[in-house]
Copies of this chain bind each other. A is one copy, B any other.
Amino acid sequence: MVARRGRRNGAEVPFDADNAPTAEMPAVTDGDPVRVRSIPEAAVARLAVYLRVLSAMAEQGSTTVASEELATAAGVNSAKLRKDLSYLGSYGTRGVGYDVRVLVGQIERTLGLTRQHKVAVVGIGNLGHALANYGGFPGRGFPVEALFDVDPDLIGVPVGGIPVSHLDDIPEVCAERGISIGVIATPPTAAQSVCDRLVAGGVQCILNFAPVVLQVPEHIEVRKVDLAVELQILSFHVARRADEKKGSHAVGNGMVVP
């Protein structure tokens, strides 16, 4: 996966390649004082997955879960899972497992999900439409509060309950409504300019669906979702597999081409 990674551009920074995911915090105990040791970026992504699995388990009435079980459900191995959870602190009970609700709470806190993050979607084409209609976005906590497009026919039309505004109004509207996450679902040509306006509007993070490498200031976090890249990675694996005729030994499914 992934693989991923967002920001970074700033061409020539002398030293300080920054980018080190560090997040430190004061200490201890439960309650609100979050204790955030620096958590590896890779672990953060998995925490979100664990959270989903745990939520499902909670709904089904599970109260505790062992690392092995949770790991399996999340598609990782148990050592990794325990290590990941250990970044949150020690919330398990030896010989028993983890309390599901406690863990849900801890992960939510760590991921900052106790706060709401208002989302703007830019580009109300097929994809933007789909995103806007997700209605309150996955698992709530990410309400869509602004939509933008250039198409005059769309301006003012409500999509998923929110009227579409014009691209030109991005900075004001975002600032006004306190948008913290901008989603770019425009054609590639518009993406950079949209991005700049989002930044101008005070947005802190950007989720970019446009196939472009965005240039952003240091302090803006960017994640990209690139369909073409995903498909090409899959294509690579298909090709690799096809060339793997060599392995000979009992590989299930032969399918070789001389």
Contacts and interface: CB of A to CB of B under 8 A. Distances in A.
Interface stretch (A59-67, A165-173, A249-257): A249-257
A144 to B, nearest CB: 11
A126 interface: yes
A205 B52 CA distance: 24
A258 interface: yes
Nearest to A185: B130
A200 interface: no
Contact of A11 (B215, B225, B236, B257): B236
Contacts of A14: 246
Contacts of A75: 1-3, 8-9, 213-215
A112 B223 contact: no
B113 A232 contact: yes
Interface stretch (A24-32, A92-100, A147-155): A24-32
B205 A234 contact: yes
Contacts of A84: none
Contact of A137 (B11, B139, B231): B231
Given A8-B75, A205-B238, A213-B73, A24 B247 contact: yes
Interface string A12-40: 11111010101111110000001010010
A102 interface: no
Interface residues of A, number: 104
Contact of A48 (B34, B142, B232, B240): B232
A181 B228 CA distance: 13
A227 interface: yes
Given A22-B253, A253-B22, A42 B3 contact: yes
A86 interface: no
B229 A234 contact: no
Nearest to A235: B112
Task: List 6 tightest A-B contacts by C-beta distance, closest first.
Answer: A112-B239, A138-B228, A126-B130, A16-B246, A205-B234, A24-B256
7 contacts: A6-B237, A75-B215, A113-B235, A115-B239, A126-B134, A142-B231, A205-B237
Interface of A: 1-3, 6, 8-16, 18, 20, 22-27, 34, 36, 39, 41-42, 44-45, 47-49, 51-53, 72-77, 110-113, 115, 117, 119, 125-127, 129-131, 133-134, 137-139, 141-142, 180-181, 204-205, 207, 211, 213-215, 218-219, 221, 223-244, 246-247, 251-258
